[in-house]
Amino acid sequence: MRYVEVCGAKVSTIGLGTWQFYAPEWGYGRSYANEVARPLVQRALDLGITLIDTAEIYGLGRSERILGEALGDRRDEAFIATKITPVLPLASIVEQRARASLKRLRSDRIDLYQLHWPNPLVSDGPAMTGMRRLLDAGVVKHAGVSNYGLARWQSAELALGAPVLSNQVRFNLVDRRPLVDLVPFARSEGRLVIAYSPLAQGLLGGRYDADNLPSGAIRRASPIFQPESLRRAEPLIDALREIAKSHQCTPAQVALAWVVRHSNVVAIPGASSVEQLESNAASAELELSDTEEGQLSTAAERFEPVGGAAVVQGLASSAVEAVRSRLSR
Ligand SMILES: NC(=O)c1ccc[n+]([C@@H]2O[C@H](COP(=O)([O-])OP(=O)(O)OC[C@H]3O[C@@H](n4cnc5c(N)ncnc54)[C@H](OP(=O)(O)O)[C@@H]3O)[C@@H](O)[C@H]2O)c1
């Protein structure tokens, strides 16, 4: 495993995302929480993965609870990143919600406490006052944000009066927008971009095509998993496969290596099995050449998924199909 050190925090370049730990929307069923989540966490620690990401909103607290249980007496080996849902981000509420997360996590500290997204109606001043108190009390080690643009990340720092360690954003070969300003900012100022959906929710693993769609509502509703998008993604997946072949690895590993090849960037892939986690951890060691980076960027630039209107249309026609087939039975 490789590690990145910024602002006194040391985290593994490949982490583990735990939205899947209790999420019917991923379609993994109840057995995932009982049978997969614990071995995933234990194996992650064995492999040197320290960064484990969760949020109070995942399974309405269940992901945090499952993570706390799964860590057991190995809590100190992990760098726990959780998130507050900033619906009413007042200082006292931030403090109270952090303490509720701590209970679920069975811990006395949160290594990274992130505002899950920017509240469009309330500035970050009050939330950062709460964050400051949590930092001063030693309950939170680092403050972070998620889904923030650069200007708001910087203004959150002003409100906190200290570095906001990280910004957790979608960053993968399909969505490369963080390269415009967030990644350069993290690099020049010694901050961290935490890449979520680094595998584009599994698309870049190359397992799916128009005849083999993924499970669960979350991906069925996503523009990139519509059959037409999957057809359009074929050249990108082929590019991943070709590079993977020359490194004797998998397309998913190449996709992850592309993300963490950028300095001050770490990735938090979710996993549906221990085998996937092991493969993801190994991608930290994979080094892509500039030529391979160029090939991937060219293929990625040419991929344009279908737009939102097509998704709504697609979902509506599948719903009509489902009703029709029920009526005709
Ligand atoms: N801050 C935010 O707003 C935000 C938003 C989204 C996610 N997140 C965080 O980021 C984490 C990761 O993002 P994500 O779950 O959306 O997407 P992701 O990590 O890109 O995709 C995860 C999925 O990809 C597949 N996969 C994983 N490893 C693979 C491998 N080696 N080979 C092939 N397929 C593989 C698995 O699905 P299948 O096996 O079923 O295909 C897995 O569930 C989440 O768990 C969560 O902690 C944060």
The DSSP H or E segment spanning 154 is helix 150-160
234-262, pLDDT tens digit by residue? 999 999 999 999 999 999 999 999 999 99
What is the Å distance from ligand 1's center to 267 Cα?
10
Taking all residues of the chain, what is their mean pLDDT, rounded to a whole number?
93
What is the Å distance from ligand 1's center to 173 Cα?
14
Instruction: Using the atom order of ligand 1, give the atom closest to the CA of residue 199.
Output: 20
100-136, pLDDT tens digit by residue? 999 999 999 999 999 999 999 999 999 999 999 999 9
Could you tell me which of 25, 101, 44 has the C-alpha nearest to residue 68? 101
**Residues with active-site annotation:** 58
| 8 Å CB contact between 165 and 157 | no
Q: Is 274 exposed, middle or buried (0-12, 13-18, 19+ CB in 10 A)?
A: middle
Between 314 and 267, residue with greater pLDDT:
267
Residue with tokens 């006292």: 92
The DSSP H or E segment spanning 105 is helix 91-105
Q: Largest alpha-carbon pair distance within the chain?
A: 65
Strand-pair partners of 113: 82, 143
- Euclidean distance between the first and the last CA atom of the chain, given in angstroms as a whole number: 54
Alpha-carbon distance of 17 to 37, in angstroms, equals: 11
What is the CB < 6 Å shell around ligand 1? 17-20, 53, 116, 146-147, 168, 196-202, 205, 207, 214, 252, 268-272, 276, 279-280
184-206, pLDDT tens digit by residue? 999 999 999 999 999 999 999 99
pLDDT category at 80 given cuts 50, 70, 90 is very high
The residue nearest atom 8 of ligand 1, judged by CA position, is 196
Alpha-carbon distance of 264 to 143, in angstroms, equals: 16
Q: Which string of b and e fits 215-228 if b means at least 16 CB within 10 Å?
A: ebebbbebbbbbee
What is the Å distance from ligand 1's center to 200 Cα?
7
267-313, pLDDT tens digit by residue? 999 999 999 999 999 999 999 999 999 999 999 999 999 985 555 55
| 8 Å CB contact between 195 and 169 | yes
Strand-pair partners of 143: 113
Task: Please compute the mean of the pLDDT values over residues 149-161 and round it to a whole number.
Answer: 98
